[in-house]
Amino acid sequence: MNTNAALTDLITSTATDHHESTIALLQSLIRVPSVNPYFTNYREPSREGDVQDILAACLEPLGATLDRWEPSAAELAKHAGGPGYYPDRDFRGRPNLVATLPGSGGGQSLMLLGHADVVSPGDGWTGDPFAAERRDGKIYGRGAADMKAGMAAAVSALEVLRAAGVRLRGDVLLASVVDEEAGGLGTLAVVDRGYRAAGAIIPEPTDLNVAPLCRGILWGRVTIPGRASHIEMPQPHWRDGGAVDAIPLGRMVLDAIDALNARWAADPAKRHPLLPLPCQVCVSMLDAGEFPTAYAGQMRITFDAQYLPPEKDERQLGGRVKAELESFFHEVAQSNDWLRENPPTLEWLVDADCGETPADHPLPQLLHRAAQIAGALSRMEGMSSHTDMGLLVNAGIPTVNFGPGAPSVAHQPDEHVAERDLHQATVALALTIAEWCGFDLASQP
């Protein structure tokens, strides 16, 4: 990084002076319950548009041109079968926002892209999940880490640069999208609208590590058929009309999934040198039975399976891994007489694509050095979860994930982010933006 020590000190001190404003911005974002309506256990309407209002009010005074629109699944149907497209999404009252801050000319452009939606709060919180409580050097709330802290740091970095008198040569685009938590159609709409940059940073929670890779995610549901009947009565063989309890059949399938995961853990194709965990089939939901007095007529197993960039199919999705799992469940069914004649059904719910930028690309290298200068104990490490980076990489934009907050606390009760991480992310992003886009100081002719 060529940024001189004086500029580093200027940005750091300005970010420190601006820190309370950054905290206030994050708290205002958390207090908006912008829960993605995909999560039907949360009954209130999504307020993603209110998040965009807050961001717009920060960005317009910086001279940004604002583009705000509601994506249309119908208009994006030309992308059907590809990453990020889901035909059933309704975006009424759920706008995207892209703010363009024009540079003075002669520099590289940079996109900062994050999402306005959060998952539902769920149970187990020790306080109000949308109160944005500040205590012990942390800010608590749903979305605090994933990823309103990252968006607050990105906006704050732009404000810090302006306050420090740093004039950027390249354009900066800040995009706040909807629907990331349910597949990524918001980002697809940004790409479809023609927005491009020479590089992109997604400020997802990475614990201030630099992640030039994210895995793809498949959500699937396998339904194991049984035959319900009175649980207290003697039963003939199933071929004679007797009951078939789906629960022990489901247990058999769960045991087979455990064995599959052991094989995947030992398979180099399911590992990546930048990831701490192999790809696995993680069972997340179980649903069986209808009545306490009846054998279960079916059992549903919902799972999350991950895949890597080399496993993508010709559509840049997880079709190869889907086929692998379809074959796996078919083979499991062949081992049981009932399931051989009454095979389980497999439904695919989400296919969220993966993405990768080479770790030696200038953008992740620049960001890594900036994070270290900001005081972060930053590593180059991929994200085990999904982000929207694949849609940007597929559009020809080198992309990296970097942001405050531990990914392990995302989607959990008492989600939080450390104030120190928020400050270090702000400094690191400001340094990276200046170096990537090129800059002049206001005091210079």
- Return all residues near 443 (Cβ < 8 A) that are at least 6 apart: 165
Least Cα distance to 159 among 11, 364, 373, 366 occurs for: 11
- CA-wise closest residue to 146 among 188, 178, 114: 114
What size, in residues, is the chain? 445
DSSP letters for 389-441: HHHHHHTT--EEE--SS-GGGTTSTT-EEEHHHHHHHHHHHHHHHHHHH-EEE
Q: Of the listed 171, 180, 356, 415, which one is catalytic?
A: 180
- Adjacent-strand bridge partners of 302: 221, 285
> Which region, left, alpha or beta, applies to residue 143 given φ > 0 means left and ψ of -120 to 50 means alpha?
left
155's enclosing H/E stretch is helix 149-163
- The partner residues of 225 in beta bridges, in order of sequence, read 298
3-class secondary structure, 271: coil
Task: Determine the Cα angle at 392 with ends 173 and 220, to 5°.
Answer: 130
Question: In angstroms, rounded to a whole number, what is the distance separating the alpha carbons of residues 233 and 162?
Answer: 77
Dist. CA 53–CA 379, nearest whole Å: 34
Specify whether 311 is catalytic: no
Asked if residue 147 has a cis previous peptide bond (ω within 30° of 0), the answer is yes
Question: 430 to each of 87, 114, 149, 166, 366, how far by Cα in Å?
Answer: 38, 16, 15, 10, 12
| Distance (Å, whole) CA 176 – CA 98 | 6
Q: How does DSSP classify residue 348?
A: E
- φ and ψ at residue 207, rounded to 5 degrees: 65, 30
Residue 117 appears among annotated catalytic residues: yes
Choose among 21, 30, 162, 184: nearest CA to 96: 184
CA distance 311 to 319: 9
Which of helix, strand or coil describes residue 300? strand
Active-site residue numbers?
117, 180
